[in-house]
Amino acid sequence: MAHAELEIIASAFEAATHEMAASLVRTAFSPNVKERADCSTAICDASGRALSLMTNAPAHLGSTLRLVSAILRRFPVETLQPGDAFLANDPYIVGVTHLNDCTVATPVFHDGRLVAFSAAVAHHSDVGGRVPGSEAGDSVSIFQEGIRVPPVQIYAAGKPRADVLEMFLLNSRMPHYGEGDLMAQMASCARGNARVQELFAKYGHATMLSRIDEMLDATERRLRSRIRSELKEGTYTAVDWLDEDGVSGERIRLAVTLTVKDGHLTLDLSDCSKQIASGKNVPLTHSYATAYFCLKSVVDPFVPTNEGLYRAVTVIAPEGSVVNAVAPAAVSSRNMTSMILAEAVNNALGQAAPARSVAAGGPGQGCISAGADPVSGRYFINYENLAGGQGARCNADGMDVVMINMTNTSNLPIEAMEMEFPVRIERYELVTDSGGAGKFRGGLGILRDMRLLADNATVSLRSSRQKFPAPGMAGGQPGGLGTFLRNPGTPQEVRLAMTTSGTPLANGDVLRVVSPGGGGYGDPRERDPAAVKRDLMEGKISVEAARGIYSVNH
C-alpha cells in the first residue's frame, strides 16, 4: 500500500508541474513565453528541496536551487500568509541564472502550516539595462544588464504590492509584456498551490512528509543504480572551446574531469578559464544545472527531476572561474558558455558509456532585434535563439535544426513573428553540407533572412561555433560554422561580429543568421550509400560532398 501511495504522490507532483507549465504558456502575454515557451515550473518543499520540475529550458533548473532559502532569510516562516507571492531574479542572491529569468514563488499552506512553495520561471523580454532585451555578451558587469531583484513581496495576503510592481515594470522597455507574463506566472503558481493542497488534504500532513522523503530517496537510488549499470568507473577528461569572450576576442577553455565511482559522479571544472570581463560568465547554479541535465540525458532521461537527482552529482567549480563567476560579473549570455560546457561534459560521459556517446553540436545563435514599430507606434523587442544542428550519435544521424543542451525553447513561428513585430522573413532553409560528415551525419544548421521594417532599429547578437566548429567524433568531420551578415548579397554586405550589442539597422535592412551544424560520427566512407543518396536528393549534402567525402556517385 505504501509503495502504491508513493507512486501516486510522485506522479501527482509531476502532473502538477506540467499543469503549471501549460497554464503559464496558455496565459502568457509575450511571444517569448506564449510561443517559444521560454519558461519552467517547480514545486519545492518548505525547506526548498525540489520535488518536481517541468523544465522547458534546462537552464532554469538553477532558478530553484537557492530560491526558497533566500526568501525565508528575508521573510521568516511565521510572517508568511496564504496569498503571498514573491519575485526574484538576482543570480548572486537567489541563484536565478540571469536577470531575464524572473521567478515568482508562492507559499503553500495546509491546515495553517507552510508545506511547500510553487514557483514559475519566465524569461522576460526586457528587464532594463544598457541594451534592449537586457542580454548582451559584451556587457562588462551585471549592473549593465538590468534591474536586480532580491526576493521581494509582490502580493501580501492576496493583495498586490503596487509600489513594488510599478518599480519592476518601470525598468522594462516592454512593461505590457512584463505585466502580462507576471500575471501568467501568478496563475501558474495558483495551479501548483491547489494541487499540493489537494494532496495534503487527501493523505494528511504526516504521510505526505514521509512520502516526500521516500520519493527523493527513491530517485537517488534509481539514479545511482543507473550510473553503476551504464557508466564504467574511472576518470575521464574532455575540453571544448568557446569562440571568444565577447570583449577581447580571447577564446575560453571549458574543461571537465569526470570521476565515476560507486554510483556517484564528480565533475571537476577547475581547469576552466578564469572569470571573464563579459556577459558570457556562468553563475554556479547554472553550472549545477548543466551537470544535472547532462547526467539525466545520458544516464536516465526519464528519471524525475528532483532533489534526489542532485545528490548523485558533486560539482567542483572554483570561485572566480568562468563557471562560477562572482559579483559583479556580467552573466546575461551565460547560456552560450554553458552550451559548450555541456558538450565537454557529454564527451566525458560518452567515454564512460561509449554506447551513449554523441559528437558535439551546433548551439543556437542568439538574436535580439528592437526598434520603433511604425504601425503601432510602440517599441518592440523580438528575442530569439535560432537552432543549429545536433551532433551525430554513435548509432544515428544528428537531428537537423534543433535546440540542444541547456535550451529547449520552441521556434517562433514566422506567422506569429510577423503579426507581432515589424519584420518579414524572406528566406528560411537548411544549410547544405553544414552537418559534419561521418558514418552518421551531424545535424544541419539553418539560414534565415529577416528584413527589418522598423525605425531606429538595433540588433544584439551572441553566438558560439563561429570560429571553432563542433568537432566530429571517432573519425567524423566537424560541423559547419555559424555567421551573421547584414544585407547579404548586396554591395552593402557586412559580416557582423560574433558578439555585438545595439548595432544599428536601417528600416529595410536584412539580417542573415546562419546557425552551425553538428559534428559527424565515424568514418564518412563507412556511411550507407543509400543514406548518402537520400541526403543528396533532399539537398542536405552537395554533389561534391557525395563524391569527394563519401565516395558515392549519384
CATH number at residue 75: 3.30.450
Give the lowest-confidence range in 97-101, 187-191, 447-451, 548-552.
548-552
* Cα Rg of the chain (Å, integer): 23
| 483 part of a folded domain | yes
Contacts 24+ apart (CB under 8 A), 74-83: 74/150, 74/151, 75/151, 75/153, 77/46, 77/114, 80/107, 80/114, 81/107, 81/156, 81/157, 82/107, 82/109, 82/157, 82/158, 83/155, 83/156, 83/157, 83/158, 83/159
Residue ending a domain, among 168, 196, 218, is 218
pLDDT of residue 249: 83
Convert the pLDDT of each residue in 29-63 to its tens digit: 999 999 999 999 999 999 999 999 998 777 777 77
pLDDT of residue 1: 54
Residue ending a domain, among 167, 189, 218, is 218
| 493 part of a folded domain | yes
Residue ending a domain, among 157, 188, 218, is 218
Average pLDDT over residues 381-393: 94
Query: What span, in angstroms and rounded, lies between the C-alpha atoms of 140 and 152?
Result: 26
| 327 part of a folded domain | no
Q: Is the pTM of this model over 0.75?
A: yes
**What are the grid coordinates assigned to 447, written together?**
539560414
| 537 part of a folded domain | yes
Question: Is the pLDDT confidence value at 288 over 80?
Answer: yes
| 195 part of a folded domain | yes
Q: What is the mean pLDDT of the chain?
A: 95
User: How confident is residue 554, by pLDDT bands cut at 50, 70 and 90?
Assistant: low
| 339 part of a folded domain | no
Question: Is the pLDDT confidence value at 330 over 60?
Answer: yes
Q: Which domain holds residue 107?
A: 2-218
Phi/psi of residue 406, nearest 5 degrees: -85, 0
Query: What span, in angstroms and rounded, lies between the C-alpha atoms of 540 and 517?
Result: 11
**What are the grid coordinates assigned to 521, written together?**
560520427
Cβ–Cβ contacts within 10 Å for residue 396, how many?
12
Given a contact cutoff of 8 angstroms between Cβ atoms, the answer to whether 258 and 237 are in contact is yes
| 70 part of a folded domain | yes
pLDDT of residue 33: 94
Average pLDDT over residues 285-301: 94
Query: What span, in angstroms and rounded, lies between the C-alpha atoms of 391 and 388?
Result: 10
**Residue 462's closest CA among 363, 379, 375?**
363
Total count of domains within the chain: 2
Given a contact cutoff of 8 angstroms between Cβ atoms, the answer to whether 440 and 395 are in contact is yes
Convert the pLDDT of each residue in 136-185 to its tens digit: 889 999 999 999 999 999 999 999 999 999 999 999 999 999 999 999 99
| 250 part of a folded domain | no
